[in-house]
Chains A and B, each alone.
Chain A
Amino acid sequence: MNPPLSSLKLLESATLISQGAEAASISKVYRGSLSSEGVPVLLKYRFQKQYRHPKLDTSLTKSRVAGEARALLKCLRHGVNVPGIRMVDAPAGLLGIDWIDGITVKYLVPQGLDKQADETIDQLAEAKTLDQFGITIDALMNLIGVEIAKMHLADIIHGDLTTSNMILRSPQSTADKKNTELVVLIDFGLSYHSSLVEDKAVDLFVLERAFASTHPDFEPLFASVLAAYAKMLKKDWAPVQRRLDDVRLRGRKRSMVG
């Protein structure tokens, strides 16, 4: 039996929006619409991998789409700001989620100042963008900490926390009373379920490293993220904090093998 074609046809009518270096090996992301004149949705397509046996490929793809959808629903039920799910076609490798209008935090936090000459220009541009969103950098870091805390309280580990996987909703989109949440976490492709302090600490450590590499001169901002996170976790913060210190010393991998 041939696989149903509707999901592939749907992608043909959609616009490819990202195929990032790393993501290209896993999935492609499109902006499309489920029906004519429908609202925009984000379509994440895990395409067929030619290097795998087709049967294995189908079953892996299916379980990954399922895993991502389950993590999203769990987050939704725990009040974490994540996109709602709009369609799932697991055999085709397609997941449709709400389109979030906004900008990734990566472009809001001042970037590394590689070129001295661009320094002032860059910073001016960034400040302006933050102004447009009517939010200070500290408030933004605070919101990020709160979302990560809510996610960890739900025992979901993101697996790929970076400033590219967080979106600040645009003011136009929050003007609609339904979207009051500001920072939305995205891309649960590497997420999993765990209540271990180790996994939560590593999740935070990954974000800390991401801050250090993407925004080298603004690493202290990460302290604001942690402060907000600690406040949400209350009594559960102390063990995570201790473990985070350990992880910083030894790196992400616990075992020294491999």
Chain B
Amino acid sequence: MESIQYPQFDLKRSKVHIALFKNVSNSGQVKSRIVAAATAEGDYGLQERAAVNFAFVEARLITSRQHIETAIYQAILAEEAGTMLTKTVHSEILYFLNPTHNISEAIKRYGISTDTQDLILVRIDEPNVKEEAVEIAMKSVIQGNIEAFSALDDVTDWMTVKKYHKLSNEVAIAATRGNPAKEKSTIDTIVTSSVAMKNVMQ
């Protein structure tokens, strides 16, 4: 797990924890747990919502750490400005990742699904929360191996990313034919930039 500090934001959202989980074995179960937690009542409901208080991001659709960080940044900006289109800052991350304005599509594609194998967990929180505690909380929800973010390289499903962002026929991508490394970095730049400017996309 890694932690990022954003001193410019309000304390309650100035620290972000992100972790890449590979080979997740309980994604179906986690998904039902999140859905159930949303409507659970009383103390139990509060407990459950606290336990799954993360953004659960489908890792194969993330092209780089910069990509997910950009979505996190724009989601925090939206929360701060009071312009969020979803209910929480964590779900807002999924909204920013998806190229369209359809929220349920964003959650379906970029959220956890029953066949998710690799997952990125994000927690936006105040700086006093201990990193160890967040990591323990993440591990208590997800059954899988936490790995360094560099392992994302083997996870990204470039074909699907191209499809969702309608990049296959773009000039920029055609120009990189025969140079897979260049193609990947081009896709990453376009996708990251799309997330950053989603708010002003028209």
Chain A positions near chain B (C-beta within 8 angstroms):
1, 3-4, 6-7, 9-10, 13, 34-39, 62, 65-66, 69-70, 72-73, 76-79, 84-91, 96, 98, 150, 153-154, 177-178, 180
Bound-complex Cα distance A173 to B6 (A) = 26
Which one of B9, B74, B189, B193 has the highest number of Cβ atoms from chain A below 10 Å of its Cβ?
A: B193
CB atoms of B73 and A34 under 8 A apart: yes
Beta-carbon contact of B196 and A88 below 8 Å: yes
Main secondary structure of the interface of B (DSSP, over half): helix
Given A6-B10, A76-B189, 19 other A-B residues pairs in contact with their CB atoms under 8 A:
A4-B77, A6-B80, A9-B7, A10-B8, A13-B8, A35-B4, A36-B5, A37-B5, A38-B69, A69-B200, A72-B197, A79-B171, A79-B174, A87-B70, A87-B74, A87-B77, A88-B200, A91-B81, A180-B182
Question: Quick check: B70 and A36 within 8 Å, CB to CB?
Answer: no
Known: A9-B8, A79-B175. A177 touches B181 (CB 8 A): yes
Q: When the two chains form their complex, are residues A72 and B193 in contact, meaning their CB atoms are under 8 A apart?
A: yes
Asked if A35 meets B69 with Cβ closer than 8 Å, knowing A6-B8, A84-B193, the reply is yes
- A-B contacts, 16 listed (Cβ < 8 Å): A6-B6, A7-B8, A66-B202, A69-B196, A72-B193, A72-B197, A76-B193, A78-B170, A79-B170, A79-B171, A79-B186, A85-B192, A85-B193, A86-B70, A86-B196, A87-B74
Distance in angstroms from B81 CB to nearest chain A CB is: 5
Say if the beta carbon of B29 comes within 8 Å of chain A. no
B residues in contact (CB < 8 Å) with A:
4-10, 66, 69-70, 73-74, 76-77, 80-82, 167, 170-172, 174-175, 181-182, 185-186, 189-190, 192-194, 196-197, 199-202
**B101 → chain A, closest Cβ, in Å?**
15
User: Among B81, B175, B192, which residue has the most Cβ atoms of chain A within 10 A?
Assistant: B81
Q: Is the CB of B70 within 8 A of A77?
A: no
Residues of A close to B175: CB separation below 8 A: 79
Lowest 5 A-B CB distances belong to which pairs?
A66-B200, A79-B172, A85-B193, A9-B8, A69-B197
Compute how far the CA of A10 lies from the CA of B194 in the bound complex, rounded to whole angstroms.
Answer: 22
Query: What's the Cα separation between A62 and B202 when bound, in Å?
Result: 12
Task: Report which of B8, B171, B182, B199 forms a contact with A77, defined as CB distance below 8 A.
Answer: B171
The answer to whether B189 touches A84, judged by C-beta atoms less than 8 angstroms apart, is yes
Interface of chain A, main secondary structure = mixed
Contact indicator B172/A76 (Cβ below 8 Å):
yes
- Chain B residue numbers with a CB within 8 Å of A77 are 167, 170-172, 190
The number of inter-chain residue pairs (CB within 8 angstroms) is 105
A88, B4: Cβ atoms closer than 8 Å: no
| Contact A78–B171 (Cβ < 8 Å) | yes
Partner of A88, one of B7, B8, B197: B197
CB contacts (< 8 Å) of A87 on chain B: these are 70, 73-74, 77, 196
A residues within 8 A CB of B69? 34-35, 38
Q: Which residue of B lies closest to A12 (CB)?
A: B8
Query: Within the assembled complex, what's the spacing in Å between the Cα atoms of A37 and B15?
Result: 13
* Cβ A154 vs Cβ B70 within 8 A: no
Q: Cβ of B7 and Cβ of A178 under 8 Å apart?
A: no
B192 proximity list for chain A (CB < 8 A): 84-86
A92 to B161: give the CA distance in the assembly, Å: 31
Contact A73 B197 (CB under 8 A): yes
Q: Is there an interface contact between A13 and B7, defined as CB atoms closer than 8 Å?
A: yes
Bound Cα distance from A13 to B7, whole angstroms: 9
CB distance from B175 to the nearest CB of A (A): 5
